[in-house]
Structure 1
Amino acid sequence: MSEGDPAGAEPAQPLQQRAARIVRQVGAPRLLVSAIVLLIGVFIARFSWQVPLISDAERALYDIRLMLTTSRAQQDPRVVMITYTDDTLINTQVRSPLDRRILADALKNLDKLGAKAIAIDIIVDQPTPNDDYLVDAFRSMKTPTYLAFTSAATNGRFIEQRQEEFLRDFQAKIRSSTVKPMSIELDTDRDRVVRAWPVQPKTLPPLLARAITGAQDNFDGYTRSIRFRLPLYDDRPVFSKLPIDLLANPDTAALMADQIKGRYVLIGGDLLDLDQFETPMKVITGDTTIGLEVHAHMLTQLLDGVQYGRIPRWGLWLTALLVILAGTLTALSDARAWKVALMLLGQAVFFSLLPFYLQWQGTDTRFLPAFGWSIGWLLAYSAIGAAARAVGSQQRRFAQSALGKYLPRDIASEIMRDPDRLALHGEKREIFVVFTDLEGFTKLSHAIPPETVASLLNRYLDTLSDVVLKYGGTIDKFVGDAVVAFWGAPISRPDDGERAARAAWAMYEAGEAFRKDVPEGVPPIGRTRVGLHWGEAIVGNFGGEGRIQYTALGDSMNTAARLESANKPLNTKVLASKAAVERSGLDWWRPLGRITLRGRATPVEIFEPVPEATAEERAYLAMLLKRTDQNDSKAFEELEKFASTNVRDAALANLVYRLQHMEPGGSYDLG
């Protein structure tokens, strides 16, 4: 033993041995359930972006990752946005379609200011009085200019077929070597957030970013994440923005020359209720983003040649399996608590930071199942941990019961000295069995809150358990509010009969004290009924080595339970069989005749303890019953008179009633 090991500590089992033992002991049904849970965990750890609800969490985590790892940028000198604002609509008194004269004037002035290229994110899909004026402006353009185009087939929510036809005709009128169409369509995820470059249909012209730069190959087919950038300073956005009113006026437009010359000019709307999109930037800014600015981010991404890397499918599968393996191994580990804590912390840090690291390094973590990893890990840990705990708890339950929880201290101590005294294989023993039940508790449990039920039941069972252990009994089991106990195993003693009898009466008295001491507002609780019997039973371990449960099986257990149930129709408190009474060594029993228990054919002589009665009273009742069995009518009359003088003795009145309805020397059938 090393100096650091506590005395008596057992060495930890190798992981493979622990796993093999769990597989052997846990059983096929639980193994099957665990395997199914593990498969579900693998599926979620790989495909969580496709799982409802979980996918929402994945998108939110992605947005956080992207914004926390994105670069803060100075204002980009290559792009300028010229926008229609709500003030523009007020000044022009035209809302829809947007005023085309002001657009035409702005184009004429921009053409003179030396813009590198112009992209117009406005759909000209219906006629206005200023169309000819706008056509003339387009035809005069010397600067490369691109006008938005979309189709009903690809964007049916916003444009109809007749609008598309007008748009095609208009594009044909203005098309030249410098004026061309472009696509402005954006794709959103299921939560209507723009995160990635759109899939480009072949029926549409090039996307704005590719069209305005003339790119043909660099970003062709790129559909991964958009690189959104945040401003370095709150008062200086990434892209400068000018109202179109300034560019439509020749005098003010001339003052904007330095902000236009050599730049890509993007024209569109910046209106409260038009062309607004949610993007990952909302995590930081809390605001939506106009479509024109989304295109600006894609444009600068293309100009910088920034393409996020792709995670291969095999990498996603490998990581998902690694996550499940980590959860499984952690659940199987029986290392010390501080080592397990370090293991958990290390895994949490690794799997939490890995997505951030990949995103920071330029890998597209969209569709990376970061939240799915945690769920998959938890499922694996829970499934394997539950199986491991099932095995451990089975062993702990028996050890706990055998060493004091269900055994009296003297027996537990003797078993500690001589473990062979505890027969785990099962053996036939003669035992005294006590079975109790709390009258009306099931009905009561529906009338009070669940937490009150739990509190009362735990206190009640603790009270009766203390009585059993006090009198040296073994607690077999709890069945709801019922307590099953026996004397005579695992170790028998000469006075087991007396111990069992005194315990039966003490359990009734403990139940009476319990019912008088309940919280305010709890309805009245019924009395505790008790059955006592002596007979043979098979006592020992049942369930195999993997599930150690020390219990007793046999007809004596059933007889005790039926005696307990007979208390109700007989108006008694504690009923004992003749076999138990004869071996109890006590003289406080009074006979209550013969009955045939439910489901039985053989009559049973029953007795009730009456410690408060005198020996003469008990002997007198026994004599009257013996004479009544011999068909002595005078004896029955004396019994009736005896019962009438004890009007509060319901059990005695019930005895008279039964004798009236049965043949002398017969048995009353409880059915």
Structure 2
Amino acid sequence: MNAKQLKDYRAAIIVAALAAIMATLAVQYLTFLSELETTSRDLRVAGQSAPMPQSKDIVIAGLTEETVSQFAYRSPVDREFLANLIKTLEAKGARAVGVDVLFDQATEPAKDELLKKTIREAKVPLFISYSNSSNIVNEDQLAYLNDFVPERLRAGANLLKDPTNDSVRWIFPGQTNPGMPLGFVRKAVKLIGINTPNTAPEIAWRPHPDAETPAFAVYPSHTVAFLPDEWFKGKIVLIGAILSITDRHRTPLAVLDDGDDGNMPGITVMAHGISQVMEGRSLQRFNLAGDIAITVLFALVGVGLGLLKRGAAFSFTVGGIFILLYWVGSFFGYSNGLPLVPLLAPTLALLLALWLMDVAIGRAERKQRQFIQGAFSRYVSPAVVSQLVDDPSALSIKGDRREVTFIFTDIASFTTLSEGLTSEALSEVLNAYLDGACSIILKYQGTIDKFIGDAIMAIFNAPISQPDHAERAVKCALELDVYAEDFKKKQNAAGIPIGVTRIGIHTGVATVGNFGSSSRMDFTALGDTVNTAARTEGVNKYFGTRICVTEESVAECPNLRFRPIGDVVLKGKTKPVGLFSPVSEADAATNVTEDYMAAYELLKAENPKGIDSFRALATQYPSDPIIAYHCRRIDAGATSTLIVLEDK
């Protein structure tokens, strides 16, 4: 590289940095540019969002024109009606009820008292709109509101709007001043067990499933009493006005819609926020650092085009095509999962870089270079201008292959149990069971990977190395078995027919690490070892055992005793796996293990004496499940310990 080239590259670096900084600051601080950037995002959200199914968690009991026409006055809403509505929703089994009505003035005394009594005595989780902002309520209204709505039921009803176009854009977090409660959305999700930080995330508007179906089911509130209970049972029901002119707010969707989406009822705004938090969704867009990275990238593209020294017409034409493709790709890509990438700043950065490079190089020098290129292009390869890099905000998801031991647990016939209990009783039993089981797993320093209903998957030797991971897992399983049996007996005595807990243990190499997307990742394990471990748990039902351990795990537990079950070919496998049952303290106190091993070795060698030995053991130990299993096999014609399972 000669001195002239070095000078050009230094100039190019300065131009790229300057163009990126100027473009970023311009979009950040020039109102008309920031509004254009906001509009470009709103256009993508309003026009290119992928459809989503109608929410199954949230419904709206709307105060419609037909509703208020039944009363002697439109406002405030008849409070006897609201009291009865809350009672009706409670009776229908609503998960929670939110009332987006501000009770800041008196109406008819008897009806006021009825509603006050109803909200205080309601058993359904209830939250009610509240505000102490001076621009919403005066001192008298605030005093009345404080008396009417107990502090525990209050939910901040304010809306956070974009000052440039008055659109509701963020979730109001609440707690913004003394006396201001959690915002309406945060209060709603807290009542169902979701805690949220005191931040104001941008609203991720839930798209309609289709042109005819709203994002949330809306039922006129005066019809709720006559509608099926299942339409409300287990759901968050929001009560609020969906009148034509009352409590309407502009949203970003107004850029394409002048109806209920663009000019949205406040209660629907709240539904979008609650749905977003419940489902863990967020508006997918880069943060400021990501925006700057893309802007710098576009500045480098502009600099690269300038370094080609093919003339302003060439550079601006190619740059224009690049920008056009980027804009089109950003719009159509959004409907396919592409985040909201910035448009204005990268565009400005590329154009500024092209212009500044043109100025930096100079027209006279460009003409000289054009001459040189024309004269020597047949002999010299064109210089490399720039190289696109991967998206810097993408997460690198890596896994680590290591030997681990898995525990899988599952409660027998849990589906049948769940169908016979109320949701509250089922939740209480399952949570108590899992709480005790998880305490034992954590005691042995296992990693709880996931819950699948009543089932638990736990990993040993990841992420923390544990040289004795297999032995830990087996000891953990034995203690889990004692706990689960005791839990079952107590529940059965209480009239709850919970079944036995079956446990499978397997050791092998798997890929463990963080897997997922940039917005959600889970620490888990992948590989066939995981499948074998799960199937090991499932085969307990064939043997009548409660704990089943593979030979790989047994080989790493020299200090523990096991009884072999057999050489088992699992469903979908061709190679037999040695399966074992650990010797419990109860079995260790008897001679069953020694007697069993003697009979097992004979059967394994296909010695006819093994058959007679097992039949004798069945009389001596009638309650032993493994002995009973082998006797059934022998009666069916089995003469060895090879077992081929046809089902999982």
TM-score between the two structures when normalised by the length of structure 2: 0.49
TM-score between the two structures when normalised by the length of structure 1: 0.48
Larger radius of gyration: 1
